[in-house]
Chain A
């Protein structure tokens, strides 16, 4: 059976790279006695797939991976067992059964993410909170995207689904996944240039809140948290 695991990654754990997070959970599942399934052959590995890797330096309350089990284990029990095997900064919050078909796995279906970006260093203009709405009201938000070979201008406005002030931070919901992917750093950079400040003069901490799949049909977007596509194992 397939399950989806949601976890938090905070504090010093933000420096653990994506591949090492995978290694970490493979070992954690063994320590926690979770009945994980393995591939065949001389060097078997746990069958695990991660949704949209988080960049090094970012924290998150909404990370996901899917894994295969050899037998069911109640969700509540699994969460307790896994959390006993965690280190400070890593915490599993959900453990749900998901559909068996391949196209349902985390990697393929990610469509959006929520982020909270807060100022870490430098200063913004006093009225920056009033500038968020006009910034979003622009028809186009052009940024220069650098790839290894070329630089091209991209309009990121369609990829920003929501953006608003939350306390002293900026909340945003952006396109994420294999079709379209927008990093929160780029949005903040564009916002800074809209505010007329040098992007080097400030730095932000980005915190991911949630990852979504697109549950809507017929071209209408309807974002559903990845965990909501599964069911608790009783």
Chain B
């Protein structure tokens, strides 16, 4: 029988012990005598969130295909267990072997959002691994960071040995092979990091120094080790069809956020919305072959027993074989009582037709993401969506029997005026009016329009990376303007408006565009007890403000300052293909309200073409 790291008393004392016992269907066990490398893959949040992440499932599968490597999983212990582990000095363990994390060779941490940064320190701390890379010894694993946040890794630079910039499928084999050789050679930790630094896409932060101007901006960022590269080129899988994809993902016992088979149909997005980081990072758009996806769907449903399958991509409607794939899923699986979920679809005749086949129209709701209320603002953000298209889509949906619509907006976008804010309410009302144009006897009671807004946060490698943010009070003020405008609408009884909390927004802004000096704030906040900051029940803004005060880091410098077009950014040493010149051009286009066409309509010369793949070469071969 498998041993467990936690005693029966501890497991019976915590909420959902299932988070900590491993043994799930399709989890991989290996014999320690038969492997050379142990890799612990961590998502620094609670199990249910971490287990829902596709990237880890892909890498878990990829690593475990190697006979010499055992990849296991680690998640953040929830607050109840965290407390017990500190009191009883229980080291953090991997789920499969239940061995201490510190005993593995690599600890890989995927960094998906800024508000998990204190959880990264929790994972290191509970594992007994020194928080700072420079303090680690031969007894410690190499700590590698990956995921979207590492496109500006600087706030976390002190805590990681290596950052893997880009898609995980490309150079891990090279790194692991180098590790095996190094392990036998008896060389030092730094010598291994020097080997790693020579692999394209890998960034070893301790091999670089940052220099600052008197005004606090970055003056220079240079390697201090001959093996370190001047720029780090993002890693990308050119042929996603041939890339590894897990045919038997791990099936959790407890209900996790993504409790279904996930079929990633493409990577990247052709749209070029100016606020969207993913849209720039994952260029160029690359599609998976539809026949391959059909086979994956069959295998994964069979191997997991899941009752639902969902498509995953940034914009499913842009997948060229969507119709064929969706019809296949419906024909093949609906008879087997498999739910089919189709997120991120544009509302058009085709999508409404398939939606009516896969959901109960009278109960289900449709989602639109206009992102901004006014046409002016939508042009600024390059959301290629006109008001006519929104109203036409909503009209079709209402005539098809739907009466619930969800609308997503952003507040605090660059150049936003009071008029733009109010248009959120007015657009929602115009959608409701469209509903009531349908003759009373043909419609299904009242309609329910739920509008939600989140606050915009400028991200690196987007045209809005130069944008200025606002203090928390200003975000609230803007949300109140929208709320009041909703109250003045004709159909206010059919409208509902929600907005996200604002306290966390400036913090996210600091981490998104922060530099190395921000790391001390994160460490201080963790010392003060900040943890699970992405969870409103545990987020403690006072402690964060105290951490800024005690470390003398000026939050406003990172969020309120106007950035000049020629400023050197902390993330400029990373080359994502998309050039800074293109981003500048797009920032200027945004300020002029000029729309840029999507990749399929017309190439805008963003720079991603240098990879020589995906949408950039469509129809050219």
Q: Is the CB of B12 within 8 A of A57?
A: yes
Q: Is the CB of B302 within 8 A of A31?
A: yes
Q: Is the CB of B305 within 8 A of A15?
A: no
Alpha-carbon distance between A42 and B302 when the two chains are bound, in angstroms? 21
Digitize A64-92: 1 where CB-to-B-CB distance is under 8 Å, 0 elsewhere. 00000000000000000000010111000
Digitize A140-182: 1 where CB-to-B-CB distance is under 8 Å, 0 elsewhere. 0000000000000000000000000000000000000000000
Q: Is the CB of A31 within 8 A of B8?
A: no
Q: Is the CB of A85 within 8 A of B339?
A: no
Digitize B290-331: 1 where CB-to-A-CB distance is under 8 Å, 0 elsewhere. 000000000001111111000000000000000000000000
> CB-CB < 8 A to B9: which residues of A?
203
Instruction: Output the residue of A10, A20, A42, A203 with the most chain B CB within 10 A.
Output: A42
Digitize A1-25: 1 where CB-to-B-CB distance is under 8 Å, 0 elsewhere. 0000000001111011100100110
Ranked nearest first, the 3 interchain pairs of A and B with the lowest CB-CB distance are A27-B305, A30-B305, A44-B337
Is B4 part of the contact surface with A, judged by Cβ < 8 Å? Answer: yes
What are 14 A-to-B residue pairs whose CB atoms are below 8 Å?
A11-B1, A12-B1, A16-B18, A17-B18, A26-B307, A28-B305, A30-B301, A30-B306, A31-B305, A43-B339, A45-B307, A46-B337, A56-B12, A88-B23
Is B415 part of the contact surface with A, judged by Cβ < 8 Å? Answer: no
> CB-CB < 8 A to A44: which residues of B?
337
| B interface, over-half SS | loop
A27-B251, A42-B360, A89-B23 as given contacts; A20 in contact with B305, CB under 8 Å: no
Is B557 part of the contact surface with A, judged by Cβ < 8 Å? Answer: no
Q: What is the chain B residue whose CB lies nearest that of A44? A: B337
Is B17 part of the contact surface with A, judged by Cβ < 8 Å? Answer: yes
Q: Is the CB of B11 within 8 A of A85?
A: no
Q: Is the CB of A87 within 8 A of B2?
A: no
Query: Separation in Å of the B23 CB from the closest CB of chain A?
Result: 5
Alpha-carbon distance between A119 and B472 when the two chains are bound, in angstroms? 57
Alpha-carbon distance between A17 and B21 when the two chains are bound, in angstroms? 13
Alpha-carbon distance between A24 and B307 when the two chains are bound, in angstroms? 11
Q: Is the CB of B25 within 8 A of A27?
A: yes
Alpha-carbon distance between A16 and B253 when the two chains are bound, in angstroms? 7
> CB-CB < 8 A to B21: which residues of A?
12, 15
Instruction: Output the residue of B254, B337, B363 with the most chain A CB within 10 A.
Output: B337
Is A102 part of the contact surface with B, judged by Cβ < 8 Å? Answer: no
A31-B302, A87-B23 as given contacts; A120 in contact with B8, CB under 8 Å: yes
> CB-CB < 8 A to A10: which residues of B?
1
Digitize B1-42: 1 where CB-to-A-CB distance is under 8 Å, 0 elsewhere. 110100011011000011001111100000000000000000
Is A38 part of the contact surface with B, judged by Cβ < 8 Å? Answer: yes
Q: Is the CB of B25 within 8 A of A87?
A: yes
Query: Separation in Å of the B564 CB from the closest CB of chain A?
Result: 54
> CB-CB < 8 A to A26: which residues of B?
305, 307
Starting from the known contacts A42-B339, A87-B23, A89-B23, 18 additional A-B residue pairs (CB-CB under 8 Å) come to: A11-B1, A13-B23, A15-B11, A15-B17, A24-B253, A26-B307, A27-B251, A27-B306, A30-B306, A42-B359, A44-B337, A45-B337, A57-B8, A87-B25, A88-B1, A88-B2, A120-B8, A203-B9
Query: Separation in Å of the A209 CB from the closest CB of chain B?
Result: 19
Alpha-carbon distance between A44 and B255 when the two chains are bound, in angstroms? 17
Interface residues of A in 109-161 (CB under 8 A from B): 120
